[in-house]
Amino acid sequence: MRILVTGGAGFIGSHYVRTLLAGGYPGYGHAQVTVLDKLTYAGNLANLEPVADSPQFSFVRGDICDAALLASVVPGHDVVVNLAAESHVDRSITGAASFVTTNAAGVQVLLQACLDAGIGRVVQVSTDEVYGSVASGSWAEDARLDPSSPYSAAKAGGDLIAGAYARTHGLNVSITRCCNNYGPYQFPEKVIPLFVTNLLDGLKVPLYGDGRNVRGWVHVDDHCRGIQLVLEKGQPGHVYHIGGDDELSNVDLTRALLGCCGVGWDMVAYVEDRKGHDRRYSLDDSLLRGMGYAPRIPFSDGLKATVRWYQDNRRWWEPLKHARPA
């Protein structure tokens, strides 16, 4: 079994690769894994250091938009898992072009390469943000796409292209959509590592608007187990939601992080809300749960472990945080 993981040096992709090569997915312990990653600011070879010396691992630096490169890399693999994406909403608001290029056009280039190479299985990893905001209840997989940000709009475009390749060409590609992830090795611009590293440095945390925006949360390990389940059992052209067991307002999340770090509300600075900020996301993941998925890591336990990881790994995050581009 040969598996190509695009975006495999990022937060979620590297966790998937590390788990795969550690034998965390039964039946896949002997897989040969190729990581293709452009190594933009959020792609980091340090995320793959625990498996870098494995004889089952190889790395290629490159872009999923590079058709010529893909023509040389994709053939010979049995499975492709696409985690390559520009993913930070705030960055997409100030500069959308790279998001559209990678998250939509890049998906088409990659899927065409998979089709040309006769790849037997493809998983397109996406986000709950493609649905926009939901006031009550939860989205099912057939909910209307209504993205608010350039990031989520570009991801929705990539998802639609994946569905089109399944229907038009018969490509065996499934789509996963997940709620907010957290865990170790997450780039420190995202809310949990940003807040934790700020507090470790004695800095206040910036809370958008009134802080009442609600998100679902799942540990990255549970998300990756969901991806693997879809890889093994998902149907072509189908969408699968991957959720956690907790929905929190940003106020509640902030309060939990302050508690983990042993500081009070005086370390919070309310800031102007970001443009187009969706009020609430919520996924109905009963389809995947019916296939055997369930989150294993309680949010309170996972959050405490994540805070400890950042406390113990300042050497990993400090250079990223203080050298990140504007």
**pTM, two decimal places:** 0.96
Q: What are phi and psi of 226, to 5 degrees?
A: -65, -40
What's the per-residue H, E or C state across 86-140? CCCHHHHHHCCHHHHHHHHHHHHHHHHHHHHHCCCEEEEEEEHHHHCCCCCCCEC
CATH class of 191-215+247-276+298-323: alpha beta
Residue 325 confidence (pLDDT) above 70: no
Which pLDDT value is given to residue 89?
Answer: 80
**What's the average model confidence in pLDDT over 211-232?**
97
**Tokens representing residue 154 in the block:** 């570009």
Residues assigned a catalytic role: 128-129, 151
Q: Which residues pair with 139 in a beta bridge?
A: 283
Domain ranges of the chain: 2-182+218-242, 191-215+247-276+298-323
Tens-digit pLDDT profile for residues 120-162: 999 999 999 999 999 999 999 999 999 999 999 999 999 999 9
**Tokens representing residue 136 in the block:** 């009550």
Length of the chain measured in residues? 326
Residue 8 confidence (pLDDT) above 80: yes
| Distance (Å, whole) CA 30 – CA 220 | 22
| Distance (Å, whole) CA 106 – CA 63 | 8
CA dist 309 → 15, 19, 133 (Å)? 14, 17, 32
- The CA R_g of the chain, rounded to the nearest whole Å, is 19
Q: Which residues pair with 89 in a beta bridge?
A: none
> What 8-state DSSP symbol labels residue 74?
S
CATH of domain 2-182+218-242: 3.40.50.720
Lowest mean pLDDT segment, chosen from 11-15, 93-97, 164-168: 93-97
Which pLDDT value is given to residue 116?
Answer: 98
Provide the percentage of residues in the chain whose pLDDT is more than 70. 99
Which pLDDT value is given to residue 326?
Answer: 43
Give residue 236's pLDDT band: very low, low, confident or very high (50, 70, 90): very high
Which pLDDT value is given to residue 276?
Answer: 85
Tens-digit pLDDT profile for residues 9-52: 999 999 999 999 999 999 999 999 999 999 988 889 999 999 99
Which pLDDT value is given to residue 99?
Answer: 85
- Choice between 91 and 213, residue whose per-residue pLDDT is larger: 213
| CA pseudo-torsion sign 193, 196, 197, 198 | positive
CA dihedral 74, 238, 214, 88 (to 10 degrees): 20
**What's the average model confidence in pLDDT over 255-269?**
97
Which pLDDT value is given to residue 86?
Answer: 84
Provide the percentage of residues in the chain whose pLDDT is more than 90. 88
Mean confidence (pLDDT) of the chain: 95
Residues whose CB is less than 8 angstroms from the CB of residue 246 and which lie 6 or more positions away in sequence, other chains included: 216, 217, 299
Give residue 80's pLDDT band: very low, low, confident or very high (50, 70, 90): very high
